[in-house]
Chain A
């Protein structure tokens, strides 16, 4: 069945460091891929998405490229801020009803 695997956390970085959170997926067909973020005390928010191979999603300085050959959708940011501290979830949607399948989440802590 469809599944998402993302790197375990927590990831701890200093401000202005480079961030990579790995995400790989298993799916039949051609899924859409998403990164959601959950800030402390808040609900899940869509960060970025890509709907077909080689698409790059981007938002708030974060980027992720849909790599079909490696079944990956790694999240990157060139310079993290303390305000980026949150839990990041990789997810895929496949099939006609837009059902989301999430990874386990990666907690990011950014220190000044």
Chain B
């Protein structure tokens, strides 16, 4: 079974530029998550989708971050404009619909903002 796919793996941009990350979850997984992991910290949930609806975006900086999940499958996370403090690894995860189901993580995208 294929795992969670993410691209790109690495991205370097200058502040005030925009960037987008892509995630393809495990086939059949209804729930998709985007986490931000700053160096030396644990991952922090940015947004959670169930099918193509948002169920939690309470920690998403909505003035600059946006995310969508078209057709309830793959998803994109966008930052516009980027700030220095956005430098982090962006992790995508997916799980089945159950409330205690395991989340499976992708390899992440490492973003460096100069």
Contact = CB atoms under 8 A, between A and B. Distances in A.
Interface of A: 4, 32, 36, 42-46, 49, 51, 89, 91, 93, 96-105
B103 interface: yes
Interface residues of B, number: 29
B43 interface: yes
Contacts of B108: 43
A42 B56 CA distance: 27
Contacts of B100: 32, 51, 93, 98
Interface of B: 3-4, 31, 33, 35, 40-45, 48, 50, 55-56, 91, 93, 95, 98-108
A2 B9 CA distance: 31
A46 B50 contact: no
Nearest to A97: B55
B55 A102 contact: no
B56 A99 contact: yes
Contact of A100 (B45, B50, B98, B99): B45
Across the A-B interface, give the 5 residue pairs with the lowest CB-CB distance, nearest first.
Answer: A102-B42, A44-B105, A43-B107, A43-B105, A97-B55
7 contacts: A43-B4, A43-B107, A46-B103, A97-B48, A97-B99, A98-B99, A100-B45
A51 to B, nearest CB: 6
